[in-house]
Structure 1
Amino acid sequence: MSYRDILVFLDATSDTPVRLELAVTLARQHGARLLGVDVSTPSAFDGQWKDSAAGLQDLFLSQLDRAGLNGEFRIADRDTGAWKALYAHFADLVIATQRHETNADLVLPAVPEEVLLSAGVPVLILPPGWRPRPVGKTIVLAWNASREATRAAHDALPLLSRAEKVVLFEFAPQADRLDSAPRLMADHLRRHGVEVESFTWPDAGDSSPVDALFACLDQEDADLIVSGAFGHSPMAEALLGGVSRDLIRNVSMPILMSH
């Protein structure tokens, strides 16, 4: 199982080269076509960032040629900035970087949260300032038997199937009388060739789900989180539900999310 089309967002910020490097690595691993989409705002072409903004196509095509990959370069509609203009609905996986207040005006506002909630494809989000390192060797799958978590698990199967270790994390699982949801999910993933270890955290009232997840990440030495994204209408003030929002805006490692 592989991703056949991978999309990476490109912008004038200093995070783009490492994001593109990861996209190239994943495209080579999966034999995927790589689509680079310029999501720069008009203001990115003024001041100190203008050379980086103007050079995105050359940067992308040179990396594509060097890696021997098939791919295409596209420019998002800078006038609307809507997620539908960003080509995300034509990909199997989208790679983005979480917004940062120091350069948010350089990137179209739909990236990454509106894309995550609206495009219907998984989004691999890197933290600002992330530096290249292996991604997907040890994966923690945040599981709670919800629609969003189920979607994320299936969207991540191409990565889960290649991982050296997968940990199924659940915070305060219900005491089911007949069957345990984590065990059922672990059995299902094994049908896809994914061996799973379980990590459950009881709710003793002294830790939040996110704090417990971070503790699991530290203990397992993970390099990728897979999680469902719980959200509301993109028009709402808060695009993501509380736990998802805390996770996406505070995590210090890559996270693949699906909604």
Structure 2
Amino acid sequence: MSYKTIVVNLAVDAEPGPLVKLAAEMAHRFDAHLIGFAAADVPPLVATGEGLVYEGEVMQVKRQEIEKRLAELRDTFEKLVPHSISSEWRQHVCGPTRALGLVARSADLIVTADGGDDVFRALDIGSLVLGVGRPVLVAAGNAEHLLGKTILVAWKDSREARRAVSDSLPLLAEAKEVVVATMEEASGEDVRNSLADVAVFLEQHGIMAQTEVFAGTADGDGLMAFARSVHADLIVSGAYGHSRLREWAFGGITRSLIGENGISRLFSN
């Protein structure tokens, strides 16, 4: 398995340079086709006590502002991606999460940075991860490289974690050290057997991994502390959540990982 098509999502209100460099480096590493992508939308008309905000003329101005910014992002993407890398650009005046979900149909991997709060201008990472059906790599803040020297696989014997291990095989194969770890208050035989099976699976793909059980209640702070203790520069994790009244409800660890900005994370669902 390899990543043959990578989509990099550029937020309209963020500096694109570091993320483009990171994605281009990954495309070069895996000999992948790179799709640069950006989207934003004009908020709809809002009724207030004084009437409608964003009248037609105002909305047209805002759309032109978005189109200008998308053109700037395209220019940055095309300047920073070497000609030796197969690449293309796509953009939409549309909600970023929905539009990226459509583009991702033809991709093996999505690369993005942390989302913002404005759903019209920033990606909702949680909704994307749970709905897109593709692995999502969320780069650490302003990172220009994904070294992947030490990768921590946050293991839980679940469908999501198994998908995450399979989806991250190209990165795991290039790592110098792979640690498959789970957090348990007590290490029973079932836990040890589960980790051993993952290690055997990885070994069959030519990847030697060490397994760890670290004591404690499963939470995001504990996982991050362990990640830093093994000097991980990438965390691979299943994303656990479900749709509730159109809002994504997450378990504590997934919420913490989405909010973490110091270490790159790869999510699968």
Of the structure 1 ranges 149-158 and 1-10, higher mean CA displacement relative to structure 2 is found in: 1-10
State the Cα distance separating 1:212 from its structure 2 match: 2.2
Of the structure 1 ranges 231-240 and 6-15, higher mean CA displacement relative to structure 2 is found in: 231-240
> Is 2:40–2:94's contact at 8 Å kept on the other side of the alignment?
yes
For 1:7, the equivalent position in structure 2 comes to 7
State which of 198, 213, 216 in structure 1 corresponds to 2:223: 213
For 1:30, the equivalent position in structure 2 comes to 30
Q: Which has the higher strand share?
A: 2
2: distance between equivalents of 1:126 and 1:19? 8
1:143 and 2:143 equivalent? no
> Is 1:9–1:37's contact at 8 Å kept on the other side of the alignment?
yes
State the Cα distance separating 1:145 from its structure 2 match: 1.1
Q: 1:12 to 1:186 in 2, by over 3 A?
A: same
> Is 1:138–1:223's contact at 8 Å kept on the other side of the alignment?
yes
* Structure-2-length-normalised TM-score: 0.82
Letter in 1 for 2:106: F
1:182 and 2:199 equivalent? no
Letter in 2 for 1:124: L
2:22 aligns to what SS in structure 1?
Answer: helix
2:196 aligns to what SS in structure 1?
Answer: helix
State the Cα distance separating 1:114 from its structure 2 match: 1.8
Letter in 2 for 1:160: L
Over 4 Å off, 4+ runs: 43-52
State which of 110, 117, 128 in structure 2 corresponds to 1:115: 128
2: distance between equivalents of 1:232 and 1:92? 23
Q: 1:175 to 1:197 in 2, by over 3 A?
A: same
RMSD: 2.8
Letter in 2 for 1:165: E
2: distance between equivalents of 1:161 and 1:257? 17
1: distance between equivalents of 2:96 and 2:71? 20
For 1:94, the equivalent position in structure 2 comes to 110
Q: Which runs of 5+ in 1 are unaligned?
A: none
For 1:68, the equivalent position in structure 2 comes to 84
For 2:236, the equivalent position in structure 1 comes to 226
State the Cα distance separating 1:209 from its structure 2 match: 2.8
Q: Which runs of 5+ in 2 are unaligned?
A: 44-60
Q: 1:78 to 1:178 in 2, by over 3 A?
A: closer
Corresponding residue pairs, total: 251
Q: Percent identical across equivalent pairs?
A: 30
